[in-house]
Structure 1
Amino acid sequence: MTPATSAPAAAPRIAIIGSGFSGIGMAVRLQQSGITSFTIYEAAADIGGTWRDNTYPGAACDVPSHLYSFSFEPNPAWLRSFGGQAEILAYLKHCARKYGVERYVRCNARVAAARFDEARQVWRVEIDANGTREYIEADVVIAASGPLSRPALPRIAGLERFEGKLFHSARWDHTYPFEGKRVAVIGTGASAIQFVPQIQPRVAQLDLFQRTAPWIMPKPDKPVAPGARWLFLHLPLTQRLMRTAIYWQLESRALGFVVNPKLMTLPMKLSRRYLERSVTDPALRAKLTPSYQLGCKRVLLSSDYYRAVSQPNVDVVTVGIREIVADGIVTDDGVQRHADAIICGTGFQVNDVGAPFEVLGIGGADLGAMWLHDGPEAYLGVSVANFPNFFMLAGPNTLLAHNSMIYMIESQVQYIDDCLRVLREQNARTMNLRADVQHDFNARLQKAMQHSVWVTGCRSFYQTRRGKVTALWPGFTFSFRRRTRRARPGDYRFVR
C-alpha cells in the first residue's frame, strides 16, 4: 500500500474514495500516467462498490456484458449476454489484480470528511478506520463512491415498530428462511424486478406494494455460446466489433430520451403488447399498466417478472401505505396485511440528500448543504466551484438511461487525468473551477433537459422534489466524451 501521506513532495498526494468501477478505473489511469502516489479508501471490507453490495437473488446488469466493462480490458469469457452480480464482481477483482490496483487499496477505511485548508492549499481528510479516527493530507481528492452507494429506506410511519425481519435489497440477508413466510416487498423498481421472481416460488404469500407501474421490456438475455467465447478470445477484433455494435444500438435510443420523446410511441406499443401477452388477468394487467410516458422513469428489462406476479401467491397492492405496525402493513383503505418480513426495494439516495460525506471547501463552503438547497450540481459531473482539486466520478448529471455508465466513467477518468496534467503544466498547487463556468454549463444543461422525456410529468429518482433533473446526462454519450477529452485551463483559477 502507498498511503497518501507518504508521497514524494514532487508528486501529488491523491486520495480516491471508493473501489467500484470508478475508483478502479481511476487508479489504472493514474498508473498509466506514471502517478503512483495515491490510496483508494474503501469503507467496506473488500472492493467492488455496487456489485459487492447488491447480492440479492437475481442481481444482474441491464446493459450487455460486452459494453458494461472497461474498454482497456475486454472480457472474452462472459457467460451470459447480461452479466450477473457475481460475474461482474469477479471481473472487477480481476482488473484490480491485473493492473496492480489492489496494493493501493485500504479497506475498512470510511472517509467521514474532507476539509480544504486554504492556508496550506491541501485537503485534510478524516477517516474512520474500524472506529478509530485518523487524519491524512491529500493534494487531490477524487470522490468515486458513486450515486448508488447509499440505500434509501422508505419514509413510512412506524417502520421502526416492525417486529419481523426488515432489510433493504442492497443489504440482503441471505440467512433468512423465506419458505412458508408472508413477505411484503415495498417498491417495484430495478432491484425488485429482479429479486421478486427469485423469492416468489419460496414464499407462502408475497404482497408487492407498487406506487407506480414500471415500463418493462423483455430482457434478451441468453448464454454466450462456447464457440463465440473462443472467437472473442482468439480473434479480439470480433469482440471489439460486437462492443461497437452494442454501443451504437443503445446510443440510438437517446433520440427518444433527449431529442424527441414522441419517438417513444413505438417502444410504448411494444411494451404494452408484452404486458398483454404475459398477463391474462385484466384486473392485474390494469395495475401493471404505466400511466406516464415510457422513459420518464427508468425502463426495466425482465422476462420473468410478469410471470412471477401473476402467480396465485402474489398480490400487487396499489393502495398507498398508511403505516407499518408490529406485524405488518396497513394501507390507506384501512386493510392490514400481515408480514413476517419486509424487503425494501426502494432504491438509493440520489437526490434531496447531501454529499456522501462532509466536504468543506473555500470559506467553509459546504457541498452537502449546497446540494440540499438546489440539488446536486457540478461541471461535467466532475468539478465544483470553491472546491479546489476536488473531483468526482459519476457525479451530478452523468448517469444514463440508455447506455453504459462505464463509458461515462472512462470519459471522466480521462478528464481528471488531464486536469492533473494541466496542474503540472501550470506549476500550480490547486485548480479551482470558476463559478461562472459552472453556472453557464448547468444553465445550458437544464435548458437541454426541457426537451427530454424526463420532464414529461412523472416523478422519479432522477429529479429533486422540485422537479429539477440532476441525475442524468441530457445528450449523447459521444458528445460528453468530446467535452471531457481535454481540460480547459481557462475554466479554472490556479494557485501557485
Structure 2
Amino acid sequence: MDQEPEQHRAFTKSSVVIVGGGFSGMCMAIKLLEAGIRDFIILEKSTGFGGTWKDNAYPGCCCDVLSTLYSYSFEQNANWTRRYPAQGEILDYVREVATKYKLYSFVRFGSEVTGATWDKKSKEWNVSVRVLSSMEAEACGTYTVQTKFFISGVGQLNQPYWPQIPGQDRFHGKIMHAARWDWSYDLKGKRIAIIGNGASAVQIAPEVAKVASQLTIFQRTPKWIIAREDNEVKQWKRVLFRNVPFLLPKVRALTMDGREESYEELIRAGSAESAKLTKTSIKFLRKELPDRPDLWEILTPKYAPGCKRILITDDYYKTLRLSHVALDTRDIQTITEEGIDVLDLKTKEGESLEFDLIVFATGFQTQEFLHGIDVRGVDGRPLGDIWEKGASALYGMTVESLPNFGIFYGPNTNLGHNSIILMIEAQARYLLTIVKEVLKAAQRGQGLAITPRLERLREWNVQLQKDLDKTTFADPLCSSWYKNKEGHITNNWSGTVVEYQKLLSKVDWSDFELEGDDSGASPLPSGQVAIGRVVEESLIGPQAMIGGVAVGALAAVSYLVYRNRRRIPLLA
C-alpha cells in the first residue's frame, strides 16, 4: 500500500493545515504533493470532498460556468455530459480527482475548525478542532493542531444566509434553506413558497413546479437574466476529447477567450457591450413571456447588468407561464402558523397566504469569509477587528496581522464573468511559494513569520477600490452580496482572470514583513521570485484557433473512422 495512513502521522502537529475540502483546499493539497510536501492535514467538517458542490444539492442545482472551464487545468475533464455541468457531475469529478491524488490519506472528515490562534514565540498556529462524528467524538471531542502554516479554503459561499423574518419559528409546515436541502421531504402536491429570486431560486423553481400544487416566488428586486442555451455534449464529442490530446485544451482556450471578452459587458456600465447585454436580456424576457406584458416591468431591473449576479436559465420564465405559479413582489411582513402575511406597500393592502413548505433561496453570508472560525493573529488580535471596516487582503490572499496565513477565494477575488477555478490555481501556486520558505526555515531549525506589509496592503486596496468604483459593482442603484452595508466592495475582483494570473506570476518579497529567529543563521528571502502561470487563453487569435480546432477535429474524425474500420477499440 503506497498511501501513508493519516492516523499514523503526528495527530496534533502538522506543517500545514488546510481548512476545507472543496476545489480550493484540494488544489492546495495537490500542489503541496507535487512539491514533495506530505506533512499536511485537510480539515473538512462535512463527510466528503466537494465543498459548495456537496453542500448545495437542491433540485436543479447546476453550475453557471461552461463545463469546459469548470475543472483544474491539470485535470481537464473530457467526460462532461452537458455544456453546463450539474451538481452531481461536479461532485463525481471532485471525488475522482481526490482519489487520483490520494487525498483521502490526508483528510479528516467530520472535523470542524472553530478557532485558530497565532503563537508569536513558537511562530506557529494553534488550530482548534471540534469532532462532529459521534464515534470519534466519544474518544476525542475537541483537540488542537499546531501548524506552521494555516490555510483557509472555506471560500465565500459556505454559510447559508437566513433573513430575520418575524414568526419564523411559529410555522407549522416545513422550512428549509436551498443550501441545506432535505431530500426526505416529499414535494408532490405541496403548496410551496420560494423566498428569493437569485441563482438558486431560478434553478429550484422549474423543478419543484413540476410536482407542486401551488408555487409562489417572492421577488424583492428583479435580476438580469439571459438564456443558458444548455444542451447535451454528444457522445462522439466526448470520444474525441478523450482520444485526441490537443483538442480539449484548444476548445478550453476558445471558451476562455469568450469569457474574458464578456468582462466588458458586465463591468462597464454605459459601454456598448453593456447596452448590448441589456438589449439581449430584455429581448429574451419578452420572447419567453410574450403574453405576459404585466410581468415585463416587474422583471426588468433598474440598474446596469453586472451590479448583481447575472442569471442564466432556459426554463425560469417558462415556469412563470404556468397557471399554478405566481410571482409575488409584495413585502413579506411575517411568517404565520399557516404561511406568510404580505403587504402591498403601494396600496397598503395585506393578504395571508397558506403554504406547506417555505424555501429560503437567500444565498450566503458572504462578507465574513471565515464565518464561525475565531481567528486571532499577532497579540491575539481578532480577525473581526482587523476587518472591522470590511474584509481586505493583499491580492485577496494574505491578511494584516495574520502571519503564515493564506486564504483562497478571499476578499476581492470573486468573478462575474469566468471560472473561479482559474483564480484558485493561480492562488495555489503563489501560496505554495510562501509555504515552502516557511518550511525550509523549519528544516533548518528556524522559525519564520511572513505577513503582508501594512503599507503595501493599504496601498493595494486603495487602488483596488478606485478601480472598483468605476465598475457596475459600485452602482448605487442596487445592493448586492458583492459589497457591504457601507457600499465597500469586499468580494469582487476588478479585472480579468488573465490580469489576476499575471499579477500572481511572481512573488515580490518586498510586499511582506519577514520575521526570522534572532540567530540570523540564514538570510531571509528577498527580491522577486518568478513562478510563472498557467496560460490557458489562446495566443494565436480566435480566428486562427477556430480554424485549428476545425482542422484538428476533422483529422480526429478521420482517425476515429480509420480505427473503427480496423476494429481497434477506443480507449475508455
* TM-score normalized by the length of structure 1: 0.96
- 1:357 Cα offset (Å): 0.8
Q: Distance in 2 between matches of 1:395 and 1:148?
A: 11
- 1:285 Cα offset (Å): 2.5
| Alignment match, 2:511 | 491
Q: Deviations over 1:433-491 (max 9, x none)?
A: 11111111111100000111111221111110111111110111111111112222111
Q: Assess, with a 3 A threshold, how the Cα gap between structure 1 residues 379 and 28 changes in structure 2: closer, same or farther.
A: same
- Segment drifting more, 482-491 vs 201-210: 482-491
Q: Deviations over 1:58-91 (max 9, x none)?
A: 1000111110100000111111111100000000
| Alignment match, 1:272 | 282
Q: Deviations over 1:11-67 (max 9, x none)?
A: x71000000000111100000011111000000111110111111111000111110
Secondary structure in 2 matching 1:139: strand
User: Aligned match of 2:429 in 414, 427, 451?
Assistant: 414
Are 1:477 and 2:497 an aligned pair? Answer: yes
Secondary structure in 1 matching 2:333: strand
Are 1:6 and 2:4 an aligned pair? Answer: no
Partner amino acid for 1:465? K
Partner amino acid for 2:314? S
1:130-209 correspondence to structure 2 within 5 Å: 130=132, 132-209=141-218
Q: Distance in 2 between matches of 1:352 and 1:204?
A: 38
| Alignment match, 1:256 | 265
Q: Distance in 1 between matches of 2:292 and 2:430?
A: 52
1:371-390 correspondence to structure 2 within 5 Å: 371=387, 373-390=388-405
| Alignment match, 1:443 | 462
- What is the alpha-carbon root mean square deviation over aligned residues? 1.8
Q: Which is higher, the Rg of structure 1 or of structure 2?
A: 2
Secondary structure in 1 matching 2:436: helix
Q: Distance in 1 between matches of 2:32 and 2:63?
A: 27
Q: Distance in 1 between matches of 2:54 and 2:323?
A: 34
Aligned-pair identity in percent equals 34
Secondary structure in 2 matching 1:207: strand
- 1:260 Cα offset (Å): 5.6
User: Aligned match of 2:485 in 465, 476, 493?
Assistant: 465
- 1:187 Cα offset (Å): 0.2
Partner amino acid for 1:6? A
- 1:352 Cα offset (Å): 6.1
Q: Distance in 1 between matches of 2:210 and 2:296?
A: 21
Q: Distance in 2 between matches of 1:377 and 1:101?
A: 30
Partner amino acid for 1:366? P
The 8 Å contact of residues 463 and 469 in structure 1, kept in 2 or not, is answered as yes
Q: Distance in 2 between matches of 1:487 and 1:356?
A: 31
Are 1:362 and 2:393 an aligned pair? Answer: no
The 8 Å contact of residues 159 and 371 in structure 2, kept in 1 or not, is answered as no
User: Aligned match of 1:350 in 363, 366, 372?
Assistant: 366
Partner amino acid for 2:411? P
The 8 Å contact of residues 5 and 138 in structure 1, kept in 2 or not, is answered as no
| Structure 1: runs of 5 or more not aligned | none
1:81-160 correspondence to structure 2 within 5 Å: 81-130=83-132, 132-160=141-169
User: Aligned match of 2:340 in 329, 338, 342?
Assistant: 329
Q: Distance in 2 between matches of 1:164 and 1:173?
A: 13
Secondary structure in 2 matching 1:128: strand
The 8 Å contact of residues 28 and 428 in structure 2, kept in 1 or not, is answered as yes
Are 1:400 and 2:400 an aligned pair? Answer: no
Q: Distance in 2 between matches of 1:220 and 1:419?
A: 42
- Segment drifting more, 87-96 vs 417-426: 417-426
Q: Distance in 2 between matches of 1:341 and 1:306?
A: 22
Q: Deviations over 1:192-229 (max 9, x none)?
A: 11010000021111111000111111112111111111
Q: Assess, with a 3 A threshold, how the Cα gap between structure 1 residues 355 and 54 changes in structure 2: closer, same or farther.
A: closer
| Structure 2: runs of 5 or more not aligned | 345-349, 517-572
- 1:99 Cα offset (Å): 1.0
Partner amino acid for 1:278? E
- 1:428 Cα offset (Å): 4.9
Secondary structure in 1 matching 2:128: strand
Q: Distance in 2 between matches of 1:485 and 1:46?
A: 32
| Alignment match, 1:43 | 45
Q: Assess, with a 3 A threshold, how the Cα gap between structure 1 residues 261 and 93 changes in structure 2: closer, same or farther.
A: farther
Partner amino acid for 1:430? A
- Segment drifting more, 159-168 vs 181-190: 159-168
The 8 Å contact of residues 5 and 137 in structure 1, kept in 2 or not, is answered as no
Secondary structure in 1 matching 2:145: strand
Q: Distance in 2 between matches of 1:306 and 1:320?
A: 22
Are 1:217 and 2:226 an aligned pair? Answer: yes
Secondary structure in 2 matching 1:222: coil
- 1:354 Cα offset (Å): 6.4
Q: Deviations over 1:93-123 (max 9, x none)?
A: 0000001111101000000000111121110
Q: Distance in 1 between matches of 2:8 and 2:76?
A: 30
Q: Distance in 1 between matches of 2:114 and 2:341?
A: 38
The 8 Å contact of residues 15 and 439 in structure 2, kept in 1 or not, is answered as no
Q: Assess, with a 3 A threshold, how the Cα gap between structure 1 residues 352 and 362 changes in structure 2: closer, same or farther.
A: closer
| Alignment match, 1:282 | 293
The 8 Å contact of residues 266 and 305 in structure 2, kept in 1 or not, is answered as no
Q: Assess, with a 3 A threshold, how the Cα gap between structure 1 residues 95 and 222 changes in structure 2: closer, same or farther.
A: same
Partner amino acid for 2:295? L
| Alignment match, 1:52 | 54
